[in-house]
Chains A and B, each alone.
Chain A
């Protein structure tokens, strides 16, 4: 059940009405939302409901066991077992085929061909997301950030709550579980935030992302050898916008739907293409994943506490594993390794600059302000192009395709086939929205929250009507569903 479909619209209407109708019975409400979430997940493939439950049960039991013991060694053992169990499930479903294919190629290259136990493994939707949420739950209990839940229903709802179940944002136990213990509320602010986010998410996904995908990105990446440099350049800019609108659109709808049900998720995107450095980019892009990787991987590896060389190693390893998390393909591995390496290079360069040319602390004149502005602008352009370079590998189905793509960027003599005013306009408008005031959404939500019901209905109905009218036919799946 995809968000921008009539099925989901009907499902949400029922869940919204019924869940608020039983708001005076919190336990019943949670059970109802849990049932709705399992129904939502089972809509894709009911066979994986057992897997979702098993993953939750392992983390629930680990949490209870952690609460009952104070022996440090045993606590570490429990966390280890829970994390290994979660990662084993994820590893089997996501990387089994990739591992065997890579092993087979390796063995063949050294003349040791073997019959390997290949089998068709279906990837359960959202497995990467619910596995990470489960790990976050157990580790947070271990670290004392959150207490173990005695109620299995609460843990099940935390892991399977339908707005974030299949493609995030990755919700932390410390953020969500306390909300299950408070009386649930629906305020004007919830309505304002929910309506604005749902409409903006639908517009981003159904209009911008779908047009760019079908009319520019898919054809250009299908065979980069038959198009010229201009098409390839606009193609990768288009993909940068498409993946942003696709994924942040999904996150917006998820956060908006959760708000209308009375829950608060944290922000997942913050105008990432206005970042003036890669470090800044990762503070703005898929924030729930980058903070997850920081807290559960980078910090346990040692973070920046053990000298410069180990900091570079930790940055690289964190992003490298982040790349593998995205998908079982060498192109994702390269994407992660590239980001990790560039983050290390950027940190090294920044430290050298700070050493040889320390920043002026005293307020400067006009020339200083102009210089800083120009430096910031160069940083934005440079970061955007670094990210775009990495997107080529992220989007390409193989290294060969990515190589053809890069090689084609020198073919400036060929006539453009895909660069139309409409597509350029879409990219430009989407880029402009990266530089609008940060509180634009807040202002809109504040305006919407005071509308009377008829005007709110007109806004919601009119907004969806307009998006349906201008969006291309059909609903393409969200990019992050495959992860």
Chain B
């Protein structure tokens, strides 16, 4: 993947002398655009994480040493997290976490049961499509 960066260096170095200044000008323009684009992306990512991963913020600030400034930061972070939890922003992470915990805690017997359940569901689906199983709702 890093050859992508190398290609750009080669492309830049490969310009004839008279075209270098033009290439440099274009490079300056592209750098300015890319910087702005990346900065916007980083800002958006930060906002997303502040809203949807506020519990990580609380875990982080709880590791601070004791002090008046630190206590204030902890208090603000905890309030922020409560606000996000009340607004439902923390729910997606909790759902994903719960799904993973289920997978994580499953033993081999549980895995076999799950596979059987999925197989049965697939069999029923196929039979339903063929009209062999009556649709209870209809």
CA A259 – CA B39 in complex, angstroms? Answer: 14
Q: Is B4 touching A457 in the complex (CB atoms < 8 A)?
A: no
CB-contact partner of A445 in B1, B48, B103, under 8 A: B1
Q: Is B31 touching A186 in the complex (CB atoms < 8 A)?
A: yes
Q: Is A191 touching B5 in the complex (CB atoms < 8 A)?
A: no
Stretch from B79-87, B104-112, B117-125, B130-138 that touches the partner = B104-112
Q: Is A453 touching B37 in the complex (CB atoms < 8 A)?
A: yes
Q: Is A193 touching B4 in the complex (CB atoms < 8 A)?
A: yes
Residue of A nearest to B97 (CB): A469
Q: Is A267 an interface residue (CB 8 A)?
A: yes
Q: Is B48 touching A462 in the complex (CB atoms < 8 A)?
A: yes
CB-contact partner of B34 in A13, A191, A422, A459, under 8 A: A191
Q: Is A470 an interface residue (CB 8 A)?
A: yes
Task: Name the B residues within 8 Å of A264 (CB-CB).
Answer: 2, 5-6, 9
Q: Is A6 touching B56 in the complex (CB atoms < 8 A)?
A: yes
CB-contact partner of A193 in B2, B47, B108, under 8 A: B2
CB distance from A267 to the nearest CB of B (A): 5
Q: Is A469 touching B93 in the complex (CB atoms < 8 A)?
A: yes
Known A-B contacts A188-B34, A264-B9, A468-B93; the reply to A422 vs B27 at CB < 8 A is no
CA A362 – CA B93 in complex, angstroms? Answer: 58
CA A185 – CA B49 in complex, angstroms? Answer: 28
CB-contact partner of A266 in B2, B36, B47, under 8 A: B2
CB-contact partner of B27 in A185, A189, A195, A469, under 8 A: A185
CA A446 – CA B6 in complex, angstroms? Answer: 14
CB-contact partner of B46 in A13, A186, A266, under 8 A: A13
CB-contact partner of A190 in B5, B36, B53, B104, under 8 A: B5
Q: Is B31 touching A187 in the complex (CB atoms < 8 A)?
A: yes
Q: Is B111 touching A454 in the complex (CB atoms < 8 A)?
A: no
Chain B contact residues, majority secondary structure: helix
Give the A interface residue count (CB, 8 A): 58
CB-contact partner of B100 in A193, A195, A445, A470, under 8 A: A470
Q: Is B128 an interface residue (CB 8 A)?
A: no
CB distance from A207 to the nearest CB of B (A): 10
Chain A contact residues, majority secondary structure: helix
CB-contact partner of B4 in A13, A445, A453, under 8 A: A445
Task: Name the A residues within 8 Å of B2 (CB-CB).
Answer: 193, 255, 264-267
Q: Is B46 touching A456 in the complex (CB atoms < 8 A)?
A: no
Give the B interface residue count (CB, 8 A): 48
CB-contact partner of B96 in A197, A464, A469, under 8 A: A469
Known A-B contacts A185-B30, A461-B44, A461-B46; the reply to A17 vs B56 at CB < 8 A is no
CA A196 – CA B4 in complex, angstroms? Answer: 13
A-B pairs under 8 A by CB, number: 150
Q: Is B34 touching A187 in the complex (CB atoms < 8 A)?
A: yes
CA A449 – CA B103 in complex, angstroms? Answer: 34
Q: Is A183 an interface residue (CB 8 A)?
A: yes
Interface residues of B in 70-99 (CB under 8 A from A): 92-93, 96-97
Q: Is B48 touching A421 in the complex (CB atoms < 8 A)?
A: no
CA A5 – CA B36 in complex, angstroms? Answer: 24
Q: Is A421 touching B107 in the complex (CB atoms < 8 A)?
A: yes
Q: Is A189 touching B38 in the complex (CB atoms < 8 A)?
A: no
Candidate in B47, B57, B104 with the most chain A CB atoms within 10 angstroms: B104
Known A-B contacts A421-B108, A461-B46; the reply to A186 vs B96 at CB < 8 A is no
Known A-B contacts A187-B30, A420-B106, A421-B111; the reply to A456 vs B41 at CB < 8 A is yes
Task: Name the A residues within 8 Å of B24 (CB-CB).
Answer: 183
Q: Is A422 touching B104 in the complex (CB atoms < 8 A)?
A: yes
Q: Interface on A for B, CB 8 Å cutoff?
A: 5-7, 9, 13, 16-17, 20, 23, 183-193, 195-197, 255, 259-260, 262, 264-267, 420-422, 439, 441-442, 444-446, 449, 452-454, 456-462, 464-466, 468-470, 473
12 residue pairs from A and B, CB less than 8 Å apart = A190-B8, A264-B2, A264-B5, A458-B48, A459-B41, A460-B42, A461-B48, A462-B48, A464-B53, A465-B49, A468-B93, A469-B100
Nearest 8 Cβ contacts at the A-B interface: A457-B44, A461-B48, A461-B45, A441-B1, A456-B41, A453-B40, A457-B41, A460-B45
